[in-house]
Chain A
Amino acid sequence: MLILECPYCGIHAEETELHAGGQAHIKRETVGADDAAFEAYLFTRANPRGVHLERWRHVNGCGKWFHAARSTTTLEVFGTYPAQTLTPPDDIRAAITAKHPDWSFEGWQGAT
């Protein structure tokens, strides 16, 4: 059972109160983007075995979207943080690299 703390209402929400929203921190391509960039934005997603950054919504709760950093293999949660950010905050990165010293946000963004 996955439990994530909603950064808005502070509830330690069990999975059934949440709705998964896929990969976080995707850059939106729009008018002017070439075909390859637009295709990658629409269809290409990281599928890492290990640390992943995801979007979740506290759907049966305060209704807000937030971000979560967790491991897809161990289900360890490194932390959750508000949706109003383009990159993970320092404390989240520190919690990840404490366990996975080689991990970097830039490396994760490049993963496919």
Chain B
Amino acid sequence: MSNAVSALQGVSSAGFATVTEAGLRGMITLRGDHNAASLRQAVTDIVGVDMPEVRRCTRAGERAAAWMSPDELLIMVPYADAPDVVARLSAALEGMHGLAVNMSDARAVFMVEGTAEGSAREVLAKLAPVDMSRAAFTQGMFRRTRLAQAAVAFGAVGDDAFELICFRSEAQYVFDLLSMSAKSGSQVGVF
């Protein structure tokens, strides 16, 4: 058994917001008809979270389901649980046009959290074409966008805390972007 490591092995940086690589995370791409009863039931029974509405992420402990597109969900579970969850999801989808694939090692996860010095919303607002105001981007929301030149997805896990997912191959670039955006002294102070 190989010793799995995350892309940047838990690296972190501290500016007016903190940026931390979250380490290993089980991530499963689940594709299929979101209205199909078997898929919805698989999400609630096997993953253990509610089926997410459009552009939202539902969470229960370390498990989550995020809306990625009209026919795709991102399922998050503890890293070690992913193979078993994939097997159970695949069994549940049998007979329907669907797919469950373990993508854990293809992605990297970062946490961006604000401090007394400045807001995590500002770190993302500088980099993505997204309205990051408290009124527009509320807790539980999740969306895909771009961060400078990298495709990413992020969701609000708290009032000023965000979880961000990118391709593993772009992890260093994304970490550098976030760290630079969060550099102390560079706050604009709009949030």
Q: Is the CB of A61 within 8 A of B145?
A: yes
Render A56-77 as a binary contact track against B, CB cut-off 8 A, 1 for contact.
Answer: 0000111110000000000000
Would you list 24 pairs from A and B whose C-beta atoms are within 8 A, ordered by A residue?
Answer: A8-B69, A9-B55, A9-B67, A9-B143, A10-B54, A10-B55, A13-B129, A14-B129, A16-B129, A16-B146, A17-B129, A17-B145, A60-B144, A60-B145, A60-B146, A60-B151, A61-B144, A61-B145, A62-B68, A62-B69, A62-B144, A63-B69, A63-B144, A64-B69
Does A26 count as interface, using CB distance less than 8 angstroms?
no
Interface residues of chain B: helix, strand, loop or mixed (majority): strand
Contact with A along B41-72 (1 / 0, CB 8 A): 00000000000001100000000000111100
Q: Tally B residues with Cβ within 8 Å of A.
A: 12
Q: Which residues of A contact B54 (CB under 8 A)?
A: 9-10
Residue of B nearest to A15 (CB): B129
Chain A minimum-CB-distance residue to B131: A12
Interface flags for B107-134 (1: CB within 8 Å of A; 0: not) read: 0000000000000000000000100000
Chain A contact residue count (CB 8 A cutoff): 13
Q: Are B70 and A64 in contact (CB under 8 A)?
A: yes
Q: Which of B132-156 contact A (CB under 8 A)?
A: 143-146, 151
Residue of B nearest to A63 (CB): B69
Which B residues fall within an 8 A CB radius of A? 54-55, 67-70, 129, 143-146, 151
User: A62–B70 contact, CB under 8 A?
Assistant: yes
Distance A60 CA – B145 CA, assembled complex (angstroms): 5
Interface assignment of A95: CB less than 8 Å from any CB of chain B: no
- Of the candidates A8, A10, A14, A62, the one having the most CB atoms from chain B within 10 angstroms of its own CB is A62
A13–B54 Cα gap in the complex (Å)? 15
B119 to chain A: closest CB distance in Å? 21
List, in ascending order, chain A residues with CB within 8 A of B143's CB: 9, 11, 61
Q: Note all chain A residues with C-beta closer than 8 A to B151.
A: 60
B-side contacts of A9, CB under 8 Å: 54-55, 67, 69-70, 143
Closest to A8 in B: B70
How far, in Å, is A103 (CB) from chain B's closest CB?
30
Could you say which residues of chain A place their CB within 8 Å of the CB of B145?
Answer: 17, 60-61
Out of B55, B68, B70, B146, which one reaches A11, CB within 8 Å?
B55
Chain B residue at minimum C-beta to C-beta distance from A61: B144
Given contacts A16-B129, A17-B145, 9 further A-B contacts (CB under 8 A): A9-B55, A9-B67, A9-B143, A10-B54, A13-B129, A60-B145, A60-B146, A62-B68, A62-B69
State A62–B55 Cα separation when bound (angstroms). Answer: 9
A66 to B56 CA separation, bound complex (whole angstroms): 21
Docked complex: A1-23 residues within 8 A CB-CB of B: 8-11, 13-14, 16-17
